[in-house]
Amino acid sequence: MAETEVSAAERLAVLRTEIAEHNRRYYEESAPTIADRDYDRLYRELLDLESHYPQLIMADSPSRLIGGRSQKAFSQIAHRAPMLSLDNTYSEDEVGAFYRRLEKLLPNEKIPVVVEPKVDGVAISLLYEKGRLRYAATRGDGVTGEDVSQNIRTIRSVPQQLKGEAPKLLEVRGEVFMTKDGFAKLNADRSEAGLPVFANPRNSAAGSLKQLDPAITAQRPLGVVFYGTGVVEGIEITRHSQLFPLLKKWGLPGSELWWKADSLGQILERIHELDKLRHNFPYETDGAVVKVDAFAQRESLGMTAKSPRWAMAFKYEAERVETKLLDILIQVGRTGTLTPVAALQPVVVSGSTVARATLHNEDEIKRKDIRIGDTVVIEKAGEVIPAVVSVRTDLRDGAEKEFGMPSKCPICGSKVVKEEGQVAVRCVNAQCPAQLKRRIEHFAGRGAMDIEGLGEAMVEQLVARDLVREVSDIYSLTSKGLNELERMGEKSVANLLEGIELSKRQPLWRLLFGLGILHVGVSAARALADYFSNLDELMAASADELQRIPDVGEVVGASILQFFREPGNREMIAKLRGAGVRLTSDPKAATATDSQIKGTTWVITGTLGQPREELAELIRQRGGKVSGSVSKKTSFLLAGEEAGSKLEKAKKLGIKVVAEEEFRRLLAS
C-alpha cells in the first residue's frame, strides 16, 4: 500500500475502535461520554476515509452497523422490518445536497417531503395485532431489539388496545422520552434521597426503559411520540402524511407539529420555524427530520448499508454560552483517579442552570490552555454533561492563573502518582475517604451486592461518622450506630440491616465485581466465578492460569494479581469471610437430572413468574448457557405468556419448548 493508504488504514482502525466504544456507551449503557457533535465529527471522518479508500472498508465497520448490541438481561425480538438509523448533518448546504440527490434519482418528478421534530429519546417499536398490543422492542442492532413490553405497558399514553377500526397488523415506531418537568422533579427527588442524579432526559428515559422491575419504570414520567411504521397489514397507507391523522384516530400520540414541503426553500423555512417552536415542547428535541412523503418514491430511492436514502436528520447546533471559570476543583474516584472539574459562575444552558462542567484531565486543560479566571465557552450538546469547549483568550487581563494537578490528594493528603504513558493521576492511599465512599457505593450497587438503602447519602454519613473504614465494615454495622444517623428511623435501620444480611448470600461473581478490582467488569467476574470454585482458588491462581480464562486476559489478570497481593485487600477478604459473606461459586451439579441442563443452551422469552436474569442464573448454576436469540444451537426455549416470535421460530426449528411449570419440576427433581 502507498504511504497515504497506510496512514488512512491506521486512522480508520483508531476511528472504528473509538466509535464502537461510543456506540456501546450510547446504545447499551445509555451513558454517552461525548457530545453528539463530537461523535458526528468522528463518524463523518470515518465515512470520508472509507469513501476515498473503499478497499479498506471492514464488514464490521460502524458505517455498516445500525445502533448497538442488544442487552442480555432482556429476551430478544426480531423486528418485522428493520429499524434504520438516519444520516444527519448540521449544515443547511448538506440539506440542499440531500434534496438535489433526490431530484437526480427521481428526475422529472415532484418530490413532496414532510418535516417533523427529531425527538431526543429512545427508539422503540410496538407491534399491535388486531388492535391489541402484542409486544414492544428497542432498536437494538436494528434487526433485533430488547423485549421491553412490560415496561412499555406502564406508560399511560401507550394504549393497550387501539381505538376504532384497527389494522390487522401494525408495527409502529417512535421515541420514548422523559418530560422536561418530570426529569427536573426526578433529579430533585433523587438528590434529596441521596441518590446520583441523571445526566439528561434521554439517559434517564433509557435507564427507565431498561429496568428489570416494571414497577420502577411505572414511577418515571415517561411518554412516547410515534412517527413511523414498519410492517402494516389490513390498511393501505401510501403517504407518510396520511399517518398522523391515523395515529390520532387509533389513540397513539404523534408529533405535535409537522409540515409538508415540496422545495428546498420550503424545507429550510420549516426547519427554521421548528427551531423557534421546539423549546415549547414538553420533551427535548435536537433537530428536524426530513422524509420523502410518498412511499412509492421511498421504494424507488432505496437505502444504503444502514440508512434510507429518502430521509435525513438536520441537527441544530448545540447552545453555547460564555461564563467565568471561578476555580478548578478536584474529585477523587473509587480507584483514586483525580478528575478536574470546572467551578463556574452559574449560567443557563439549554434550559438549565450550570455551575459545574467536566474538564476530563490535566492534558485536556493544557491542550485548551484553560486558566482559572478565564472567560470560557460552555456547551451542553445533546444535554450531555456540560463541558468547557474553548477559552476567550482575547478577554484575558493577566490575572488568570495556570492550573497544575496537586502533588497530594486534596481529600487525604497522600501523594499522587501519574504512571508513564497514562493521563490519569491517582491517589495511592487505598484508605482515602473519597475512594472509600465510591468503593462502598460500588460494592453496594445494584449490579454488585445490591444492598438496598446503602446509597450515596447513607455512605457519606457512615464514612463521616467513622462507622465504616473499609468495605468489610458494612457487615459490622449495628442498630445502635445507625440509629444516631440523620433520617434513620427504626424501620429504615431494620431495612438496611436486612439488606446487608441478604447480601451475604449473593453469588461469588457479584462479590468479585463489587470488590472493584481494576478492569474486572461483570463479564470477567462471571468468568472467574465459573472457573474457580471459591475465592481462595482465585487468590492462589498464577498469571498463566488467569490469562487462559475467557474475558480475562493479560491486562485483567495482572490487575487481579496486584489486587490480591495487597495485604490490606487480603485482610478485607478475611473479614468478609468472618462476617459470613459467601466466598464460593454456585455448585456445578453432577447428578443425572442436572445433566439435562449441563452443556445445554437456553433462550428465555415471554412473561414469567420470576425475573429473567434470576432464571438465567439458575440455568448457569447448573452448567447451562443462556442466549438472547433462537438458533439451531438452542437446546430449550423457556416460554412464558406472550412469547411471540421466538416461540414461533423455536417451533419451526424443532426446538423443545419448556413451560415455567415444567422448568420448575426440572430444577426440583
In a domain, residue 232? The reply is yes
pLDDT range class, residue 128, cuts 50, 70, 90: very high
Assess whether 211 and 327 both reside in one domain: no
pTM of this prediction exceeds 0.85: no
Answer whether residue 657 shows pLDDT above 80: yes
Tell me which of 530, 556, 579 is where a domain ends: 579
| 200-230: pLDDT as tens digits | 788 788 888 877 667 677 778 899 999 999 9
Give one DSSP letter per residue of 189-251, joined into a string: HHHHTTPPPPSSHHHHHHHHHT-SSHHHHHTS-EEEEEEEEEEEESS---BGGGHHHHHHHHT
CATH number, domain containing residue 571: 1.10.150.20
In a domain, residue 408? The reply is no
CATH number, domain containing residue 348: 2.40.50.140
Per DSSP, helices labelled H in 73-173 are: 92-105, 149-152
In a domain, residue 421? The reply is no
Nearest alpha carbon to residue 619 among 517, 515, 530, 528: 530
**How many structural domains does the chain have?**
5
Assess whether 462 and 522 both reside in one domain: yes
Assess whether 332 and 452 both reside in one domain: no
In a domain, residue 412? The reply is no
Assess whether 123 and 243 both reside in one domain: yes
Assess whether 274 and 189 both reside in one domain: yes
The pLDDT score that the predictor gives to residue 382 is 45
CATH number, domain containing residue 108: 3.30.470.30
Assess whether 83 and 109 both reside in one domain: yes
The pLDDT score that the predictor gives to residue 70 is 46
Q: Which residues contact 242 (CB under 8 A, 6 or more apart)?
A: none
Per the CB < 8 A criterion, the answer to whether 293 and 70 are in contact is no
DSSP 27: I
Answer whether residue 483 shows pLDDT above 60: yes
CA neighbours closer than 13 Å in the CB half-sphere of residue 140: 25
Mean predicted lDDT score pLDDT of the chain? 85
In a domain, residue 186? The reply is yes
Q: What are phi and psi of 129, to 5 degrees?
A: -115, 120
Residue 406 class from Cβ within 10 Å (0-12 exposed, 13-18 middle, 19+ buried)? middle
In a domain, residue 379? The reply is yes
Residue 372 class from Cβ within 10 Å (0-12 exposed, 13-18 middle, 19+ buried)? middle
Rounded to whole angstroms, the Cα distance separating 46 from 41 reads 9
- Of residues 334 and 651, more confidently modeled: 651
Assess whether 47 and 99 both reside in one domain: no
Assess whether 515 and 379 both reside in one domain: no
Give the three-class secondary structure for 306: coil
Assess whether 101 and 227 both reside in one domain: yes
Sheet harboring 636-639: ordered strands across?
Answer: 625-627, 601-605, 636-639, 656-659
Domain containing residue 457? 433-579
The pLDDT score that the predictor gives to residue 33 is 65
| 281-311: pLDDT as tens digits | 888 888 999 999 999 999 999 988 678 999 9
| 588-599: pLDDT as tens digits | 544 444 557 888
- Of residues 375 and 353, more confidently modeled: 375
Q: Is 118 a catalytic residue?
A: yes
Angle at 48 between CA 45 and CA 49, to 5 degrees: 85
CA neighbours closer than 13 Å in the CB half-sphere of residue 325: 34
Answer whether residue 553 shows pLDDT above 60: yes
Per the CB < 8 A criterion, the answer to whether 448 and 513 are in contact is yes
Assess whether 459 and 488 both reside in one domain: yes
In a domain, residue 411? The reply is no
Q: State the cell numbers at 463.
A: 464514612
Assess whether 280 and 159 both reside in one domain: yes
Marked catalytic residue, from 72, 104, 110, 118 = 118
CATH number, domain containing residue 9: 1.10.287.610
Q: Which residues contact 68 (CB under 8 A, 6 or more apart)?
A: 23, 24, 26, 27, 28, 140, 141
Residue whose grid cell is 500500500: 1
